[in-house]
Structure 1
Amino acid sequence: MGLHKVLKIVAFALAIIGAIFALMIIAGDDEQQLSMSGNMLYIAYTVLGLILVMVLLFVIKGLFAGNIKKTLMTVGAFVLIVVISYSMSSGTDLDLTPFTDKGLDVTEDTSKYVGAGLYTFYVLAILAIASMLYSGAKKIFNK
């Protein structure tokens, strides 16, 4: 039996269990609804875990089936962009007193992580737009 068939059977079984729990929540009283909604969360966490495991398995399988050198270079470029973005972010350009006065746990490290994430997003967005423009221009000029 292929992996695809096994995954279809597992997905179908989880869908049936989820539908049963949903019907029990709809038909039950308030106290039962609270306990059943907790069960639905466990189902959701289980499905999320299974999906993450399957994605990791297929990614690893694809790594060894394809060109691993090109993949590692791409991952290395992504890590380099993240490291450069983290080094560019200062974390001190934001006044944190309004957040700390409200009891929120916002530190300079948190601000630096957010800044690094924003810089990473900007760089990756610019690269994505540039690659789309490049491929579009290449198609136009090669005709």
Structure 2
Amino acid sequence: MGLHKILRILVAILSVLGVIFLVRIIGEGDEAIKAAAAAGDSAIVDPMAYVAYIVLGIILVFVVFFVLKNLVTHTASLKGTLIGVGLFAAILIVSYAVSGGDPMEYKYNNKLATETESHMAGAGLIAFYILIITAAASMLLSGVKKMIK
């Protein structure tokens, strides 16, 4: 049996399970689900979440597999990919180096956030700002180049 048939059967099974669990959730109603959640019972929603986790896991496996396969088979694009990954890593390193520990105390999950958690959050924000500015600048430059030609 080919991979295509196996995947079709897996998709069919997950689809049927998803529909069954969705009908069960809709059948219970919002108030029953909210009351159960307030009591700490999530048995109504859990099976649907597990189906979603399985689908996400399958997608991640296939994405990683085909990306690595493409990198190995098309070595011409490997250089550009490695440059992109290196630049992204450099942005993360610079962001971590630039962000400092925050002397303020923040609550996180009813606990005080540690200095490391604060440092990582700051680094993530700085990396986001760098990446968004880079994306905006590249779109702007692309638009200007098209207008000039």
Report if TM-score (shorter chain) is over 0.5: yes
TM-score (norm 1): 0.80
1:72 corresponds in structure 2 to 82
Question: Which of 88, 100, 124 pairs up with 2:131?
Answer: 124
Name the SS for the 1:124 alignment partner: helix
Q: Deviation at 1:13? A: 2.7
Q: How does 1:84-99 map to 2 (within 5 A)?
A: 84-92=94-102, 94-96=103-105, 99=107
Query: Identity percentage over the alignment?
Result: 43
Aligned length: 138
**Partners of 2:89 and 2:63 in 1: how far apart?**
20
Residues 125 and 38 from structure 1, CA distance in 2 versus in 1: closer, same or farther, beyond 3 angstroms? same
Say which structure is richer in helix: 1
Q: Structure 2 CA distance, aligned partners of 1:45 and 1:55?
A: 15
Look up the match of 1:41: 49
- Cα 1:128–1:28 change in 2 (3 A) is closer
Runs of 4+ in 1 over 6 A off after TM superposition: none
Cα distance in 1 for partners of 2:4, 2:146 equals 36
CA RMSD of aligned residues (A): 2.8
C-alpha spacing 1:73/1:13, structure 2 compared with 1 (3 Å): same
Aligned-partner Cα distance in 2 for 1:87–1:7: 45
After superposition, give the CA deviation of every residue in 1:120-139 in whole Å (9 maximum; x if it has no partner). Answer: 01111111111111111111
- Structure 2 residue ranges without an equivalent (≥5): none
List runs of 5+ in structure 1 lacking aligned partners: none
Report the Cα offset of residue 8 of structure 1.
4.8
**Is 1:55 equivalent to 2:60 in the alignment?**
no
